């Protein structure tokens, strides 16, 4: 399993959550975790991977700076619950040829969908994304700009 650890000084870490792993495998798996109570300013994160024999290793430390830069970014999704297609509207007020994409994660944190957005889709126009291959359940939809999450929504697929 993985323990998610956070620090505000990159020295003293505390566990803020855990994610079950998929065991020993040669396949790539994607996981998702949301820090519900991040500190303002810099947050430092690392993963502690614990094996079945309780041996553990740490990932490299990653720094995330929280600011109001994401203010004004919008991801609107409808209807919710969703059946076969997500209708969405994206507004990125300071867009300057960055890479914008939508990612869909299941409750286990596994990546279930990815769509790169073009300029037409990020200017407030109505767009759609097929999700007919998703099974019934709850999902997290993230809007990323150059790899950073700027907005997210929880959806239910029926």
- The reported pLDDT for the residue numbered 35 is 86
Grouped pLDDT means (10 residues each) for the chain, 158 residues: 87 90 76 80 86 90 68 83 92 81 87 90 85 92 84 88
CATH architecture of 69-157: Sandwich (2.60)
- The DSSP result for 87-155, as a single string, is EEEEE-TT--S--EEEEEEETTS-EEEEEE--GGGGEEEEEEEE-TTSPSEEEEEEEEETTEEEEEEEE
Signed CA dihedral, 76, 133, 135, 147: sign only: negative
Q: Which two tokens stand for residue 92?
A: 């990125």
- The reported pLDDT for the residue numbered 102 is 94
Q: What is the pTM of this model?
A: 0.58
Residues 150 and 100: beta-carbon distance below 8 Å = no
């Amino acid at each position: 399993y993985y323990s998610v650890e956070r620090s505000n000084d990159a020295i003293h870490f505390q566990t803020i959550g855990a994610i079950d792993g998929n065991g020993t495998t040669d396949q790539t798996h994607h996981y998702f975790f949301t820090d519900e109570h991040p500190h303002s300013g810099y947050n430092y994160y690392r993963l502690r991977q614990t094996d079945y024999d309780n041996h553990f290793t740490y990932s490299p430390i990653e720094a995330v700076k929280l600011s109001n830069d994401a203010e004004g970014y919008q991801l609107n999704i409808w209807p919710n619950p969703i059946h076969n297609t997500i209708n969405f509207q994206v507004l990125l007020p300071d867009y300057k040829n960055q890479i914008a994409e939508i990612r869909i994660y299941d409750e286990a944190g596994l990546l279930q969908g990815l769509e790169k957005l073009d300029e037409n889709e990020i200017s407030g126009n109505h767009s759609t994304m097929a999700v007919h291959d998703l099974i019934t359940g709850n999902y997290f939809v993230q809007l990323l700009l150059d790899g950073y999450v700027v907005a997210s929504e929880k959806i239910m697929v029926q």
